[in-house]
Structures are given as C-alpha cells and as structure tokens.
Amino acid sequence: MSIKPARTRIAPSPTGHMHLGTARVALYDYLLAKKTGGQFILRIEDTDLKRTVPGAEQEIMDGLRWLGLQYDEGPDVGGKYGPYRQTERREIYQAHAKILVEKGHAYPCFCTPDRLEKMRQDQMKRKENPHYDGTCRKLSPDEAARRVANGEPYTIRFKMPYEGVTVAHDHLRGDITTENKQLNDYVLLKTDGLPTYHLAAIVDDHEMEITHVMRGSEWLGTFPLHVNIVRAFGWDEPVWIHLSVFLKPSGKGKMSKREAAQAMKDGYSIFIKDMQELGFTPEGVLNWSALMGWGVSEDDVMTVSQMVDRFTIDSLTPSPAAINFQKLDHFNATHIRLFTTEDLAARLKPYFTREGLNVNDEVLLKMIPLIRERLVTLDDCISFGAFFFRENVAPNLEDLIAKGLDAKQTVEIARRVYQILAAQPDISHERCEPPLRAYVEESGLNVNQVFGFLRVATTGQKVSPPLFESMEIIGRETCLRRIQNAIAMLEKA
RNA sequence: GCCCCCAUCGUCUAGUGGCCCAGGACGAGGCCCUCUCAAGGCCUAAACCGGGAUUCGAAUUCCCGUGGGGGCACCA
C-alpha cells in the first residue's frame, strides 16, 4: 500500500437510479482515500445528453451522503480541480482533442452515421469484426482542415496503431495484452462537440490528478484504448483497478430489470434510493457490499472506520460475485445491534411516524432494548413494537384462545390472570411473573397457555418482545384495560 | 463470430509451493438456553471445474479443455 495520499474518484453518469455497484466502487474509493490521507472526488459524467435523466445527479449525491461517503470535491461542494460536471468542461476536451490531432494521434472523421451503419452491416455479412474502416484516417491533414473549415460535421477519432500489441497493466489482473488490430479507431469527440467517455475520463483523471482509477470490469474491453490515449498524451498512468461485476443471486448473469423487480418483491433492492425505505442501514449496506469483491480473512463485521484500517487494494478480488441478499439481512441486523439506544431511537422514529403512530420518546427509549436483537431491518420495529404506541390493540379471537382449550376455558384463565395482576401494586416484571408462574403451577396448565393468552391480550400479537418487560412499559392501566377487552371478546365468543 | 477477464463449500471469501486430509462468514441441519419470536453458546454436513506438465512436493506455477462473465457504438 502506497503511503502517498491517493486521489480517487467515483464517476457515475446520471442516466438512471444509483446502483449498488456504484456504491461499492465509491466505498473502495473512499476507503483508499481515507486510508492514505488523500481525497475522494465525485465527478458527473453527463456527456450523453440523450441519456441524461433529470434528478439522477441529485440521486447520486443523496445516495453517497446517505451512505456517509462524503466526497471532498464534487459539483455541489466545489474544489480546485473543477468543474466536476463534464458538460461544463467541453472546452477542455476540445483542446485536448486538438492536441492529439496535432500530435498525429487523432484525426477528424466525416463519415455519417448512415455510412457507418452500412459499413458495419457489410462487415457482419462478411463475418468480419465490426470496426471503423479508416476512410478518413487516409485523408490528408490539409483536406481534413479544409472540410472542417467548410463547416462539415465531423468527429475526432483516435488513431489506433494497426500493428503490434498493447500491454496494459491492471493492479488485480496483471498485464493484459491485446493485439492492436483488435482495437478500433474510437470516436473521441462527437459531432455535438462533447467527448465520449474515452476522452473525457482520461483527460479528467489526468487533470484532476487521480492516482487510482477503480471502475467496473465492463471497461476492460476498452482498457487498451485508454492506456493508448494516456500514452499519446505522454502522461503518467494512474493505477488501474478493474473490479468485478455483481451477478444476480443465481450467479447466472448480471442483474437485469426482471431480477431487480423480483428483489423488490422480496423486500430487497439493488438501488440505493430504496435501501432506506426498506429499512436497511448505511452500515449494513456498506459492510455487505464491501465484502463482495474484497477478501477479509476473518471477523468481517466492520464499521467504516474499521474498513479504512483494514483496506488494501491488494486484497480486492477479480472474480464476479453473486449478490446474496440473505447476507445483507445479516449485516444489517448485526449493525443494528451495535447501535446505541439513542442512535437507534433516532433511526426508528421515522418508521413509526410513517406508520401514523405518535411516538412517546420515553417509551421509545425503554422499548428499544427489548426489540433491538429482533430487528433485521429498521422497519421491523413496526411489527415488533407498534403496540407500545397504540391506545388499544385488536387481537384475533383465535389467537386469544389458549392452545388446546376453548374460549370458555380461556375466559377462566383470563379472569384469574386479571385478578392476579390487579392485585399487584404495580405491574413490574419482578412483581408479576412469580404469582403468574405460581398460578400456572397450581392450575396444571402449561406456561404457554397462560402467557400466550396474556401476550395476545396485552400486545395484540402472538409474537412479541418479552412479555413482562413489555407489560411494564405498556403500563398498569393500559394492560388491565386490554385484558378486560380480551375477556369481553372471549365472553362473546 | 471475434477479443478480453474470471474459476476454492449453495453464496461471499482466506490461502501467494510444504503450516491445508483446505480456514472464516452467510445460509442449512442438530443440541443447549427459553414466556412467543429473536439473539447468544456448542456441534455437524458442505469446496480446491477436468486433463496434462513442472517439482522431492501444487488449491497455489505453466499449457490445453470446459464452464461462467464482460465487451465488440458519435452509451457510459
């Protein structure tokens, strides 16, 4: 691990919802920057005007902030390497494209999309690899300049060597050798004057002094191109790290729209914006995604600061990883148990409020220790603890009836239980459990028959936090009233 | 079709020639604890894709298959 401060960047394009994969790369970028005392940068790659969707940029910024991956430089925070939105940097790319043309590494191309498309069709028909045929590469500089001056629309293409090989070095995969004839004269600058990714990313990474480029392995195909562009400029290369992609849970192929929809049905998502709503925590999501593609030998529950301590780019893994949502549950639940009561209270409150419940802060603080280890997602607090904040509960009659008994027999139990509890000066755990246990003993009933009734009567549900601790929080008056209601229900049955 | 990448339990991974009859985590199963549900504790099953080669010795190196993934745009 280099001790020199690293400058890393996450460079998403605002073309849709922020994906889990983006979050993971951002996390690694963040970890490396923090570990080395460097900077983590957000750059928006919005050069495809047709695909840019309104709000997507904001979603990315919100997503990063929600995750706690605050960038040191970016469109909305500034920085001395700005602007951080590529559409605001078009002159920079045009100037650089010009440099490449002047150095003989690029050339203007006047071929129309129609001609290109026809050319491609012909090549396919002849079973050749689709590639630019080099028509405009043969143009003399003078003629090219004349046609440009004439106002003819043109693109700038990179002049890829026809012969030889390009050796590009990836930190995780070693040297990757590609025959140059496999490569293409890619377009660097489009007719609209905006750059393609290939030019924009390379220029920006250099201009912004990015030291480590982490990106998805879908860029491996054009990796040799990028390396050639850097070399054509005569610049130093960053450390390149191509991360593997995420596969769908079955491991067969990457996540598609269909899988994303299925995940949503199961209460999961691959989009960051959904995570909070589904009750996931930044800690859980981060810890989970960190471990897909990063090999940590043991004790893999980590906070972000622990991740910073342990992170090295050498421990990243190159193989594709299947998404495993069960593991998300595990990490989420584990982190929830690590939160302080106060912290958890603040995080839970919005979910209760969302449910239309009026939260009493004192009660909230008291009930949290009871439900904490039962929560997998934050919104589970509703099913486990909504009854704490309701005036009345509405149990099902069949749940109320003790197992193996009928309504009539249960009424007997209920009355007895009421009597016992009403006789207590308070409804504390210490006070209530012993006499109730004694009653179970002498009546010959089993614990679940008695406690089960009480649980359903007081909480309204069959599954709840520990009974006596819960009753203590619910309070004497409310408990007794709820038991009375239950008795009334049973009597009517 | 062509090119590139990847390959250890079902899944995520540790392992950089002997420490490995392969370790951890999730998940699964069992037991304990127990007022429900959890949590927790203990235990079990579960993997080096196949074939060659190098070596005294290979999960670890090299070849060839096979499988999987990605790419072949004036998209990123």
Does residue A94 carry a pLDDT above 80? yes
* Protein-proximal positions, strand B, CB < 7 A: 1-8, 10-16, 23-27, 35-40, 68-76
Question: What pLDDT, on the 0 to 100 scale, is given for residue A1?
Answer: 44
Averaged pLDDT for residues A245-262: 88
Domains of chain A plus CATH, in order, are 88-243 (3.40.50.620), 257-338 (1.10.1160.10), 391-492 (1.10.10.350)
Question: What pLDDT, on the 0 to 100 scale, is given for residue A297?
Answer: 74
Q: Are A211 and A241 in contact (CB under 8 A)?
A: no
Question: What pLDDT, on the 0 to 100 scale, is given for residue A253?
Answer: 84
Q: Which amino acid is at A382?
A: I
The residues of A annotated as belonging to the active site are: 257
Question: What pLDDT, on the 0 to 100 scale, is given for residue A127?
Answer: 84
Provide, rounded to the nearest whole percent, the portion of chain A with pLDDT above 90. Answer: 87
C-alpha span between A248 and A425 (Å, rounded): 58
Measured CA A165 to C1' B50 distance, in angstroms: 32
Say which nucleotide is closest to residue A176, CA to C1' distance: B4
What residue is closest to B11 (Cα–C1')? Answer: A324
C-alpha span between A390 and A187 (Å, rounded): 64
Measured CA A333 to C1' B22 distance, in angstroms: 30
Length of chain A: 493
ipTM of the complex: 0.96
Lowest mean pLDDT among A205-214, A253-262, A320-329, A461-470: A253-262
How does strand A155-158 pair with strand A187-189? antiparallel
- Per the DSSP assignment, residues forming a β-bridge with A109 are A155
Confidence class for position A256, pLDDT limits 50, 70, 90: confident
Confidence class for position A251, pLDDT limits 50, 70, 90: confident
* Higher-confidence position of A251 and A315: A315
Average pLDDT, chain A: 94
To which H or E segment does residue A109 belong? strand A106-109
Does residue A178 carry a pLDDT above 90? yes
What residue is closest to B36 (Cα–C1')? Answer: A463
Say which nucleotide is closest to residue A450, CA to C1' distance: B35
What residue is closest to B1 (Cα–C1')? Answer: A127
Cα A179–A180–A184 angle (5° rounding)?
130
Q: Tally Cβ neighbours within 10 Å of residue A231.
A: 14
Say which nucleotide is closest to residue A328, CA to C1' distance: B26
Question: What pLDDT, on the 0 to 100 scale, is given for residue A79?
Answer: 94
Does residue A100 carry a pLDDT above 60? yes
What residue is closest to B23 (Cα–C1')? Answer: A297
Confidence class for position A2, pLDDT limits 50, 70, 90: very low
Measured CA A365 to C1' B49 distance, in angstroms: 54
Measured CA A172 to C1' B20 distance, in angstroms: 25
Residue A83, preceding peptide bond in cis (omega within 30° of 0)? yes
Confidence class for position A254, pLDDT limits 50, 70, 90: confident
Question: What pLDDT, on the 0 to 100 scale, is given for residue A252?
Answer: 84
A424-476 pLDDT, tens digit per residue, is 989 999 999 999 999 999 988 889 999 999 999 999 999 999 999 999 999 99
Give the strand order in the sheet containing A165-170. A39-42, A7-10, A212-216, A239-243, A165-170, A174-179
**Counting beta carbons within 10 angstroms of the beta carbon of residue A79, is it exposed (0 to 12), middle (13 to 18) or buried (19 or more)?**
middle
Averaged pLDDT for residues A68-93: 96
Measured CA A277 to C1' B25 distance, in angstroms: 27
Measured CA A23 to C1' B52 distance, in angstroms: 43
Question: What pLDDT, on the 0 to 100 scale, is given for residue A55?
Answer: 96
Averaged pLDDT for residues A391-412: 90
What residue is closest to B67 (Cα–C1')? Answer: A252
Question: What pLDDT, on the 0 to 100 scale, is given for residue A250?
Answer: 87
How does strand A174-179 pair with strand A165-170? antiparallel
Handedness of CA A227, A316, A13, A41 (dihedral sign): negative
Measured CA A26 to C1' B75 distance, in angstroms: 21
Say which nucleotide is closest to residue A469, CA to C1' distance: B35
